[in-house]
């Protein structure tokens, strides 16, 4: 009996460790890469009718933001993002460890299909939960480049837009459904990225093992890096559309897209096909 209690206690401690490790590691990585997320979001959002700033490329955007708004601008939306990824990544990390342990002990036999289905459903569910956080984060990131930035009530500074103000703005302009604008596009992007990534990873790994004699670790790293780049390129057009339709609360009504179809058509007609690969450089860095 005492042995069982000891095992349960050890399991509980292990789960807590996994939660902490997963959450802290993901938040640290997010904080380091967040400046690139700000740059990517602004590149994808910018349009001459609404934005005072116009960036030629990722490097120009980075330098311009730093010069005109200071280092603090690169942290816009970081708190919102971490408030989501801390519990989400911790839970994901824990589930991963539990499945790994279970498969190692052969408890699940041939239930790999079930694991895949559960993983896919879990990913879609987390995407839905994440969407409101992403929308608020993006509005915080782009506010500094607007011709008429949104200000907090009683404030004259565009540098300190609050989460509360963004939430109120979304509700006033789009209603409660505005918190989930573009959720289907986000799911499509995640599916496109995941599918492209795993397909490319397996294909690259096959060729590396067949035609090279590098150590296994090098092959896996090379395949992973190449797959990440391919998946990013394949999913970027959807990501650009997602950014555009999720950052409309701060825009005047005449500049908002009434539908997803209108967004794609208007972007192509007014800005050309290159709009759909905008932000590629910062996205690859991420």
Mean pLDDT of the chain: 83
**Closest alpha carbon to 133 in 192, 85, 73, 176:** 85
pLDDT for 98 equals 62
Whole-prediction pTM value?
0.82
3-state secondary structure of 51: strand
pLDDT digits (tens, 9 = 90+) for 137-154: 999 999 988 888 888 876
pLDDT value for 110: 44
Write phi, then psi, for 51 (nearest 5 degrees).
Answer: -105, 135
In a 13 Å sphere around the CA of 268, the CA atoms on its Cβ side amount to 8
Angle between helices 112-142 and 163-174 (to 10 degrees): 100
Contact (Cβ atoms closer than 8 angstroms) between residue 219 and residue 111: no
Helix (H, G, I), strand (E, B) or coil at 146: strand
User: b or e along 263-284 (b: 16 or more beta carbons within 10 Å of the residue's beta carbon)?
Assistant: bbebbeeeeeeebbebbbbbbe
pLDDT confidence band for 15 (50 / 70 / 90):
low
| Dist. CA 223–CA 197, nearest whole Å | 10
Find the mean pLDDT for residues 65-72.
93
Q: Model confidence over 70-101: pLDDT tens digits?
A: 999 999 999 999 888 766 666 666 665 666 66
Strand partners, 146: 51
Say which residue, 155 or 37, is predicted with more confidence.
Answer: 37
Instruction: Give the pLDDT score at 258.
Output: 92
């Amino acid at each position: 009996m005492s042995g069982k209690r000891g095992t349960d206690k050890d399991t509980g401690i292990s789960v807590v460790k996994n939660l902490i490790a997963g959450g802290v590691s993901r938040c640290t990585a997010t904080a380091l890469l967040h400046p690139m997320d700000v740059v990517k979001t602004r590149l994808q959002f910018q349009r001459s009718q609404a934005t005072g700033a116009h960036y030629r490329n990722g490097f120009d955007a980075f330098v311009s933001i730093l010069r005109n708004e200071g280092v603090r601008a690169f942290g816009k939306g970081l708190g919102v993002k971490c408030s989501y990824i801390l519990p989400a990544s911790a839970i994901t990390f824990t589930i991963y460890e539990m499945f790994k342990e279970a498969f190692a002990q052969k408890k699940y036999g041939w239930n790999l299909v079930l694991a895949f289905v559960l993983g896919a459903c879990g990913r879609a569910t987390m995407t839905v939960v994440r969407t409101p956080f992403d929308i608020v984060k993006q509005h915080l990131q782009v506010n500094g480049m607007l011709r008429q930035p949104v200000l907090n009530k009683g404030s004259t500074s565009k540098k300190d837009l609050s989460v509360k103000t963004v939430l109120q703005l979304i509700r006033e302009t789009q209603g409660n459904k505005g918190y989930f604008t573009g959720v289907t596009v986000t799911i499509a992007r995640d599916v496109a990225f995941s599918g492209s990534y795993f397909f490319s990873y397996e294909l690259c790994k096959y060729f590396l093992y067949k035609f090279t004699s590098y150590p296994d670790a090098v092959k896996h790293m090379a395949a992973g890096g190449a797959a990440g780049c391919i998946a990013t390129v394949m999913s970027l057009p959807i990501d650009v559309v997602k950014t555009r339709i999720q950052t409309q609360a701060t825009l005047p009504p005449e500049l908002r897209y009434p539908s997803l179809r209108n967004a794609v058509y208007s972007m192509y007609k007014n800005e050309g096909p290159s709009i759909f690969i905008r932000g590629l450089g910062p996205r690859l860095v991420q």
